[in-house]
Structure 1
Amino acid sequence: MDTHLSVVAPADEATKRIGTSDVSAVKQPPAVGSKTESGNAEPVFHFRVKASTEEHLNNLRNMPMREDDVIIAAYAKSGTHWLWEVVHMLTSGKTEYESRPKEHLMLEFNDVERFETMPSPRIINSHIPLSYLSKEIQTKQVRVLHVLRNPKDIAVSLYFHRKQRHTYDDKGILQSLQDFVNCQPAQPGIQPGCLDDYAAYLREMERWEKEHPQVPLMHLYFEDMKQSPLEAVKRLATFLGVESSESLCASVVEACSFSQDEIKGGKMNFYRKGEVGDWKNHFTVALNEQFDAAIAEHLKNSMLARKLRYAL
C-alpha cells in the first residue's frame, strides 16, 4: 500500500496530510516549503511513499549508506531513466541494460531492507528532496547526481505519464498544462505537481547544497545531455571516478539513445521520446505567455534555473 504525503517542514519536523491510497496514482516528489515572515508555508504537494509514511521516512533518514553509492535526485519527469542506465553501464563497464525496473531502486517505494541486500555500487533513485534522505549521505560523502529539465517539457511529459498510467480523469492536455502553471490538483486527493512545486524543489536543492558543500554533487541539465551526450557521459565517468575508454563512452551513448529501436520498443517505451522543446507542439501562444510570466516570478532567484534551456 502506498500513501500520499504532503510536507512543508524539514524532514525531522514533517507534517502530513493523507490523500489517496490508490497505488496507480502519480509518483510525484515533495518540495520542501519554508515559512514566510507571515508564518504561512509555501505551496506543497504530495509524493507517494510506502505506508506507514512516518515509519518509512524515518527509515530513510537512518538508512545505512555506502561510500560507493550513487544517488540520482530529480523532480519528476526530468529524464532520470536515461541517466540511470548510463550510470549503471559506466559503473559496470558494460553496455548492458539494468535488468531491474527503475522503480525497484527508488527510495520512496521500497523498504530499506531491499537496498541493504543489493550489491555495490548501488544506483539509487529518488524524487524526494535530499534533506529527507539518509543522514549518511553527508557523513560518507555519497555522490549525488541532480537532473534538471525545463518545466514546460516536464509539464507535457507529466501529462502523458498520467494519461498512460490512467491515474486520473483525462481533461485534455491544455487543461493539464493550465493546472500545472496554476498548481491545481487533477482530482481531489491528488496533487500532480506544478510550477510552484518545481520552483520549491530547486530552492531546496540549492539550500541543501550550500549547507553540505563536502558532498560531491553534480548538476546535469537534460537538455545538455540530449544535445551533447558523449560529453555528458565523459563528465559523468570523471565524476564517478570510473575508468572509461573513448570506445566505452561512445558505446554507452549509442546503447542509451532514445532512437534505439530496442529501447523504444522495449523497456524505455514507457518514458516517451525525451525531446527538448516538445512543449511547442502543445502550448498555445497565450499559455506560453502565462508560463513565461510564472517562470520569471517563481524562478527569479534560482541560480540553477538560469541555465535551463527550452530549445536546442
Structure 2
Amino acid sequence: MGSQHTPEILDYRNENGHGWSFYINDGVLRRVGTTPEDDMEMIRNVQKLELRDDDVMIAAYPKCGTHWLWEIVNMLRAGNSEYNKKMKEIAMLEMPKFERIDELPSPRVLNSHLYFRHLPEKLVEKRIKTIFIVRNPKDVSVSYFNHANGSKKLFRFDGRYSEFLDLFLEGKVPGGSYADYLKDWWQVKQDNPDLPILTMFYENMKEDPVKHIKSVADFIGESVTDELCQEIAEACTFKKLRAADAEVKEDFADPFEIWKESHKGVYRKGEVGDWRNWITVAQNKRFDDVIDRKFEGTGIVFTYE
C-alpha cells in the first residue's frame, strides 16, 4: 500500500467487470465510492464524533438486520409502537451528511456498518451501550446480492449471484470480509470488558421477537410491558416495515432513484433459510468449507433454518 495520502487502489472486479475497487484503511478493505481521501476524512470525522451518555449504538455488517433493530430500539425508547418518521440513515455514522447527527434530539439511536476501530473514539470511554446483531452468512450473502443487484447507483452490481458469491467468500465486497468483521467484534468484546455490548442473533429475533425485544429493552434500561413488546414485534414485521418506508417516512427518497423498478427497497424477505433457494449443492459445500476455516476456534455458531 502507498502512503497515507495516496493509498493504492485495488481493482477487485471479476473478468466480467462486475464488482468494486477498494483501498485499505487501517487493515480494513474500504470500497472506493468518491475518493479514498474523502473516505478517510469521513472516517476521521466519525472517530472524533462527540457521543452523548444516553446514545445507543447499533453495529452490524450490512444486511444483518440494522434497519429492523433500529426501528425496534426507537419504539422502545419512545414507549410506543409508532414508526419513527425519519429513515435509519439519518443516524448512520458513515452517511455523507452525518454531521446532521448532532442535530438529532436525545436519546439518539446511532447505527453503523463500520469496524470498531473506525467508530467514535469515545465509545469505550463513555461506555456507550452497543447492540451487535449477527446473521448467518448464507442468508447475508443472498440478501446482500439482492441489495447490490437492485441498487441503481450506490452498490450497483450487475452480475449473477454466483459471481457475487465468489466475491463475498473472498471478502471483496463493500464492508469487506464478513468473517473478519465478526471476529473483530468478538475480539473487541474480549478487549473491552467495560463496554456494554449486547449480541443479538437475527435468527433468534425472528423465532421469538417478543422475548428478544424485551432483552433489548432491559439492556438499554427501558421498563416495558409484555403488551408493548408484542405491539412492537407486530409493527416490525418486514411487510409492515416495507409499507412504513413508503407511507410514513418523511425523507424517503423516490424509490426509483435508488432502486431498479423490479426491486422493492431495503426490506426484501427477511426470512431465515432463503439461501436454499439460491445456493447450489456445490456452492454450499464451498461455503461450508470457508465458514469452517474462517470461524474455527471462535465459538460462533450460526443458525441456517
Q: 1:75 aligns with which of 61, 79, 89?
A: 61
Q: 1:149 aligns with which of 115, 125, 135?
A: 135
CA 1:65–1:92: 2 relative to 1, 3 Å: same
- The 5 A counterparts of 1:180-195 are 180-183=168-171, 191-192=173-174
Which amino acid letter does the alignment assign opposite residue 52 of structure 1?
A: D
Equivalence for 1:188: none
User: Using the alignment, how far apart are the partners of 1:159 and 1:174 within structure 2?
Assistant: 10
Q: Between the two proteins, what is the percent identity of the paired residues? A: 34
Deviations 1:105-142 (A, max 9, x none): 11011445311111011111100012211121111110
| Contact 1:108–1:128 (8 Å) recurs in 2 | yes
Structure 1 residue 172 displacement after superposition = 1.7
User: Using the alignment, how far apart are the partners of 2:32 and 2:126 within structure 1?
Assistant: 27
Which amino acid letter does the alignment assign opposite residue 303 of structure 2?
A: R
User: Which segment is superposed worse, 74-83 or 264-273?
Assistant: 264-273
Equivalence for 2:280: 284
What RMSD, in angstroms, separates the aligned Cα atoms of the two structures? Answer: 2.9
| Contact 1:31–1:201 (8 Å) recurs in 2 | no
Equivalence for 1:264: 242
| Contact 1:141–1:216 (8 Å) recurs in 2 | yes
- The 5 A counterparts of 1:298-309 are 298-303=294-299, 305-306=300-301, 308-309=302-303
Deviations 1:44-102 (A, max 9, x none): 35376897233322221121111110100001111111101000000011211111111
Structure 1 residue 14 displacement after superposition = 10
Q: 2:165 aligns with which of 158, 166, 177?
A: 177
Equivalence for 1:125: 111
* Residue segments in structure 1 that go unaligned for 5+ positions in a row: 1-5, 8-12, 34-42, 186-190
CA 1:60–1:168: 2 relative to 1, 3 Å: closer
Structure 1 residue 205 displacement after superposition = 0.6
Equivalence for 2:207: 227
- The 5 A counterparts of 1:1-312 are 16-17=7-8, 33=27, 44-46=29-31, 52-166=38-152, 167-183=155-171, 191-192=173-174, 197-260=177-240, 263-267=241-245, 269-270=264-265, 271-303=267-299, 305-306=300-301, 308-311=302-305
User: Using the alignment, how far apart are the partners of 2:25 and 2:276 within structure 1?
Assistant: 27
Q: TM-score when scaled to structure 1?
A: 0.79
Q: TM-score when scaled to structure 2?
A: 0.81
Structure 1 residue 171 displacement after superposition = 2.4
Partner of 2:179, secondary structure, is: helix
* Residue segments in structure 2 that go unaligned for 5+ positions in a row: 12-18, 247-263
